[in-house]
Chains A and B, each alone.
Chain A
Amino acid sequence: GAVVSQHPSWVICKSGTSVKIECRSLDFQATTMFWYRQFPKQSLMLMATSNEGSKATYEQGVEKDKFLINHASLTLSTLTVTSAHPEDSSFYICSAGGAGGTYEQYFGPGTRLTVT
């Protein structure tokens, strides 16, 4: 149980275009999902907390107009990187809280974004 999927697993896009990444909880309902960004050989940085049916809560320094998050259902959250630039190239990972709360998170396989 507690499987989280992400799509696509990797994407290459041109600078200035937008990219949508989907995160799905396959066998449980996730009221809360989290979006992280990870640069090579660095730790995971929480970008935002996504709550079903309400606006996402963004971490300090994360541009909410650039990284659009939608959590329309209990099994789907999406992250859209708008007007992508090469510095947005990174590994984006979503997670969903487990039954015990946010301390136990189940992570999707990640999406590697390369902006050329």
Chain B
Amino acid sequence: GQSLEQPSEVTAVEGAIVQINCTYQTSGFYGLSWYQQHDGGAPTFLSYNALDGLEETGRFSSFLSRSDSYGYLLLQELQMKDSASYFCAVGNYGQNFVFGPGTRLSVLP
């Protein structure tokens, strides 16, 4: 089977940097994705890592270590609009796509 772990909640202030970790157990792993979901809305794709290392996209960066079955999403220069739930998701060669439990980020003024 597959399982993912994320912190349930993270709180930070505007302008700060926050890191949301994700650990996973899966077979046939081919990539780790990150999605953002605001309350009442649908998830939106943020990033994807198939290889080890850091991928940077504007204020958001994502990191993957396949040997450690670990990744994180790094959000810099936090803004109020970044308050949302963030999900990591793993895909494997069996074409299953499983989401983590989600981390609720609250950005305070």
Q: Give the B-binding residues of A (Cβ under 8 A).
A: 34, 36, 42-46, 49, 93, 95, 98, 100-110
User: Which A residues lie within 8 Å of B31 (CB)?
Assistant: 103
* Complex contact B99–A105 (CB within 8 A): no
Q: Which of B30, B43, B50, B101 contacts A107 (CB 8 A)?
A: B43
A-B contact count (CB 8 A): 50
* Complex contact A107–B33 (CB within 8 A): no
**Interface majority SS (helix, strand, loop, mixed), chain B:** strand
Which 6 A-B pairs rank lowest in CB-CB distance, beginning with the nearest?
Answer: A107-B42, A103-B31, A44-B99, A43-B99, A103-B48, A43-B101
Q: Assuming the A-B contacts A43-B99, A43-B100, A46-B96, are A106 and B48 also in contact, with contact meaning beta carbons closer than 8 angstroms in the complex?
A: no
Closest to A6 in B: B42
Chain B proximity of A80: nearest CB distance (Å):
20
User: Which B residues lie within 8 Å of A107 (CB)?
Assistant: 42-44
User: Which A residues lie within 8 Å of B33 (CB)?
Assistant: 103-105
* Complex contact A109–B41 (CB within 8 A): yes
Question: Which residues of B, 89-109, contact A by the 8 Å Cβ criterion?
Answer: 91, 95-102
User: Which B residues lie within 8 Å of A105 (CB)?
Assistant: 33, 43, 45, 97
User: Which A residues lie within 8 Å of B41 (CB)?
Assistant: 109-110
Q: Assuming the A-B contacts A43-B102, A46-B96, are A104 and B44 also in contact, with contact meaning beta carbons closer than 8 angstroms in the complex?
A: no
